[in-house]
Structure 1
Amino acid sequence: MEMIEKDKLYPFIFEPIYMERMWGGNYMSEHLNRKLPKGKKNIGEAWELSDRDDAQSIVTNGPLKGCSLKKLVEHYGKNLVGSSFRGGKFPLLVKLIDAGKRLSLQVHPDEAACAKLGEGAEPKTEMWYVIACDRDAKIMSGLKGSATKRQFMDSLNSPDIEDYLQVSDSRPGDAYFINSRRIHAIGAGNLLLEIQQNSDTTFRVSDWGRVDENGKSRELHLEKALKCIDFMDRTSSRIAGVSDAMAHNRKFPIINKCPFFRVDDLRLVEKWQDTTQAAGSFNLITAINYPVTVGRDEKMTRVEPGSTCLIPASFGRYSIILEKEDETTTVLKTTL
């Protein structure tokens, strides 16, 4: 494929990579009206932006349609990723999580744990944003302040383990910051946007005793997980969403002290002006409830609800144009 000059780069949209999961739900088709691939069942994840050897995002718009994210990163480097880029893969992985059933109780390692564990383990800190959920949906993240390590260990194979976890009612617009080493699980009935370090390392602590259609249980990684869990971490992961009606455009920082990514919740009632120069990195724009169009001049890209647009770091000023100016449009903006 012939690459274009850096000053001709534009906002990219990628083909979702759909993943079958035993806990997959129906929110992507019912809430986002997505046409899911035929022949796949229990789709639980859509990888919206991925630079993994086994899962490469492919551009679907503009002159670079058909190009992989890997090739974009290799060719454009800092012009795509930002001034802090030192080579390697794109630093983030963006997913939709469609949980028809609850996910396993799990933990991800930090860099220190990865160094001890070896075997290609990668650090992973992530955040979740609740797009939609059932009325009784839950999020489990972190140990309760009163829980002891012994109580947790003694209840690993018991439903009572939930008694020692921080359990929150899911609410659209709420976010959760899941630092590495924090025990967590996504409850049934949640549609989440997940923004994370580019890692696929997960250690399952419990899978709630369930088995797949062949009667087999999934592998647990208790020994490795126990080397990762921070039993001193009792902070709350929940970041309450915005509930007030908007009379004008507002920006609400969600994640602003994480070294791996920053996320803002934009509540828009009219066109939003922005620039990639402020952060010195790419800008990811995720439409939550209504479509938006992103870019400037002739370099405009439409973003459907649930989809994420990658604006190259060198792009500079851009606008987010609303399709429903009589309603508040919610957009997440992610940078390094």
Structure 2
Amino acid sequence: MPPAVFLDRPLKLRPILKQARWGGRQLGEVLGRPIGPESDWAESWEVADCPGAKSVIAAGPHEGETLADLLRKFPRQLLGEELARAETPSAFPLLIKYLDAADVLSVQVHPNDAQAARMDPGQRGKTEAWVILDARPDSRLYCGLKSGIDREQLREAIDSGTVADCLHEVPARRGDCLFIPAGTVHAIGGGILLAEVQQSSDLTFRLDDWGRLGADGQPRPLHIGQSLECIDFARGPVNPVVPEPAAAGAPPVETLVECQYFTIRRHVFTQPAQLPAAASCRILLAIEGQGTLKFGTETDPLERAAVRLIPAACGELQVVPADGSTGGLTVLEVGIPPAD
């Protein structure tokens, strides 16, 4: 007899809200997250299984349980047979966030898996991707080093306080996707609202902080040695992804990212359409417009910025854009490839 299916529906998770000096108010005022009166709301962790930050199921039969609980109880139903068989993760492998950068973030770099294991045993590396939801006309992203910058030149720039001169800049434009592999120097500029998909890791090394002082009036600590060890100097500048052309038919879908850790596809639904069942779990982010997710005889409303974790055991879904949604319903579909 086949096992009972306990994860046969989309999972709505409670956001985990975080404050930081560079945050603002758009997580609440634009994305509808339950922020307080302060003006430093920086991140909304939508799907998380990190120490001290574990997503809790918000509704349905598993309300009140954590994502970690479901992973422990139902690894195959959640992840899918192939993914669960290839790897028995101690934590969900991805971290999904919304970020409101009212001010520029520090210049950072993240280690790859091998470096992370050596520098902080038990940690993953951190490859990530950004999809820009909104940006001021003058907003900038800093992605990679300028062509030709080597370790010695960057070291000299660190000593002289001119790291910014080494950074490759691109304008932040709504709809753009930036893929940031581990080892890429990067910073998010001010005035940007974005969705971030990343490996489940918070291991970050700060290379530069634009000369700012912390709340105590002192410069925040930098991690120069670790940063230089992790930077991939062969990578050079990083520019926005050129999406693979949308497949013929409806709804149109673009492939934004395909890497060993995750895939990102962007769907634009202008009429009801089916999302077939998949062999592994997926995360859906409704980044523009509104609609409804139908499964079996049930429906689940999708407001802007809604996030749903779709277990592998969940069957076919139907996505229905709301009547009158200008431009339809835009959904990011994040997948997890099986381990090599």
After TM superposition, the score normalised by the length of structure 2 is 0.89
Pairwise CA distance, 1:101: 0.6
Identify the match of residue 155 of structure 2 among 153, 157, 172: 153
User: Distance between the aligned counterparts of 1:139 and 1:19, measured in 2?
Assistant: 22
- Hey, what does 1:316 align to over in structure 2? 315
Pairwise CA distance, 1:149: 2.8
User: Distance between the aligned counterparts of 2:260 and 2:276, measured in 1?
Assistant: 21
Pairwise CA distance, 1:173: 0.5
- Hey, what does 1:331 align to over in structure 2? 331
Pairwise CA distance, 1:305: 1.6
Shift in alpha-carbon separation, 1:8–1:71, aligned structure 2, 3 A: closer
- Hey, what does 1:201 align to over in structure 2? 203
Mark the runs of 5 or more structure 1 residues left unpaired by the alignment.
none
- Hey, what does 1:283 align to over in structure 2? 282
- Hey, what does 1:75 align to over in structure 2? 73
Shift in alpha-carbon separation, 1:122–1:326, aligned structure 2, 3 A: closer
Amino acid at match of 1:310: L
Pairwise CA distance, 1:327: 2.4
- Hey, what does 1:216 align to over in structure 2? 218
Pairwise CA distance, 1:75: 1.0
Identify the match of residue 179 of structure 1 among 181, 202, 225: 181
- Hey, what does 2:11 align to over in structure 1? 12
- Hey, what does 2:260 align to over in structure 1? 259
Out of 82-91 and 232-241, give the one that drifted further.
Answer: 232-241
Shift in alpha-carbon separation, 1:75–1:168, aligned structure 2, 3 A: same
Identify the match of residue 169 of structure 1 among 163, 168, 171: 171
Pairwise CA distance, 1:325: 5.1
Pairwise CA distance, 1:191: 0.6
Count of matched residue pairs: 328
8 Å Cα contact 1:104/1:204 also seen in 2: yes
Pairwise CA distance, 1:332: 0.3
User: Distance between the aligned counterparts of 2:22 and 2:78, measured in 1?
Assistant: 35
8 Å Cα contact 2:283/2:309 also seen in 1: yes
Amino acid at match of 1:58: V
8 Å Cα contact 1:139/1:169 also seen in 2: yes
Amino acid at match of 1:94: I
User: Distance between the aligned counterparts of 1:112 and 1:242, measured in 2?
Assistant: 30
SS at match of 1:255: strand
Pairwise CA distance, 1:111: 1.6
Once the two structures are superposed, what CA deviation does each residue of 1:291-334 show, in whole Å capped at 9, x if it has no partner? Answer: 23223123432232223100110112111111145522211001
Pairwise CA distance, 1:247: 9.6
Pairwise CA distance, 1:242: 10
Identify the match of residue 97 of structure 1 among 96, 99, 104: 99
SS at match of 1:217: coil
User: Distance between the aligned counterparts of 1:306 and 1:326, measured in 2?
Assistant: 14
SS at match of 1:185: strand
User: Distance between the aligned counterparts of 1:291 and 1:5, measured in 2?
Assistant: 33
Once the two structures are superposed, what CA deviation does each residue of 1:77-133 show, in whole Å capped at 9, x if it has no partner? Answer: 011112212322111000111101111100010122123323544311110000111
Pairwise CA distance, 1:168: 0.6
Shift in alpha-carbon separation, 1:8–1:126, aligned structure 2, 3 A: closer
Identify the match of residue 60 of structure 1 among 48, 58, 61: 58
SS at match of 1:115: helix
Pairwise CA distance, 1:41: 4.8
8 Å Cα contact 1:128/1:195 also seen in 2: yes
SS at match of 2:33: coil
- Hey, what does 1:123 align to over in structure 2? 125
After TM superposition, the score normalised by the length of structure 1 is 0.90
SS at match of 1:223: helix
Amino acid at match of 1:90: F
Mark the runs of 5 or more structure 2 residues left unpaired by the alignment.
none
RMSD of the alignment, in Å?
Answer: 2.4
Shift in alpha-carbon separation, 1:233–1:28, aligned structure 2, 3 A: same
